[in-house]
Homo-oligomer: A and B are copies of this chain.
């Protein structure tokens, strides 16, 4: 006998000292624990009668397999970790929703981490998640510390970077070109006849890329260097409201503003309404991401359409393909972008 049988009677308390194991179920059903394992993982390899018997005991005993032990033995946890700057603003929430939806279809769970736009926080989270032996890791952006990259290489797990593009991803990539998207909006605004531009946004790498793209377009057309107003992270609607106030006061000649996302732009739109400023006659406003608020606010926002939800879905599909041993033909997925014209420009 290699294992001491559990001879003590079950305690009366609701919280058992010890959870039910495969061994317990096996003993009750009169089979070996490996048969119970097969009933759960590869039912087709067990005879129908044995299977039915074991399944009934699993149900009646309320057995829930310990995936910690399973993961340790099989080296597969069926957990994917996602690291986003913040979950509070709809920007990344849609990606998380897409990921969670798709992964749960195949029994994978999502471990979530927030960095507040800090690279060192990202590194710490990456190490914590590697320690949990997640099967895959999803990062936001393509800019990471050397240590993050090195840990990820050493761990050898599938990694997907998102929301941006680069020629040399760590592993896989699902995103769009922020610089090009910014340039497209700059071109659009120039073509609409606007000449004195401003950009209102935070200083995260992707926001900065959009600004720099817009700046390139504007300068290429011989217009003036755009004004850049930086806003703090956090309260986006309010920040947009304050920033547009500042801009109107200090740069009354500006005729078009590009925002690093629609929520900030919506805050600015609301402030313009409150002040009786005509949009786009006096000033044009353009957002980014085509979030839920963009078509709803007055005036409806011209914006750059990208799909946060689709980023989540595609990322999950790539990961699942790798988990299932299917190669991923194209490790870089450019989801593109497009300008959506509405009333605000």
Contacts and interface: CB of A to CB of B under 8 A. Distances in A.
B71 A68 contact: yes
B67 A69 contact: no
A66 B133 contact: yes
Interface residues of A, number: 63
Given A67-B131, A87-B97, A151-B62, A110 B109 contact: no
B14 A241 contact: no
Given A16-B154, A132-B109, A88 B77 contact: no
Contacts of A274: 298
Contact of A237 (B66, B112, B296): B296
B67 A132 contact: yes
Interface in A85-121: 86-90, 93-94, 96-97, 100-101, 104, 107, 109-114
Contacts of A241: 296
Protomer copies: 2
A270 B298 contact: yes
A69 to B, nearest CB: 5
A130 interface: yes
Interface in A48-79: 62, 64-69, 71-72, 77, 79
A80 B328 CA distance: 32
B87 A113 contact: no
A6 to B, nearest CB: 16
A267 interface: yes
A31 to B, nearest CB: 21
Contacts of A133: 66-68
Nearest to A18: B75
Contacts of A109: 111, 113, 128-129, 132
Interface of A: 13-16, 19, 62, 64-69, 71-72, 77, 79, 86-90, 93-94, 96-97, 100-101, 104, 107, 109-114, 127-133, 150-151, 153-156, 235-238, 241, 267, 270, 273-274, 292-293, 295-298
19 contacts: A16-B156, A19-B155, A64-B130, A66-B133, A67-B132, A68-B71, A68-B133, A79-B111, A87-B96, A87-B97, A87-B100, A110-B111, A111-B111, A111-B112, A238-B295, A238-B296, A241-B296, A270-B298, A274-B298
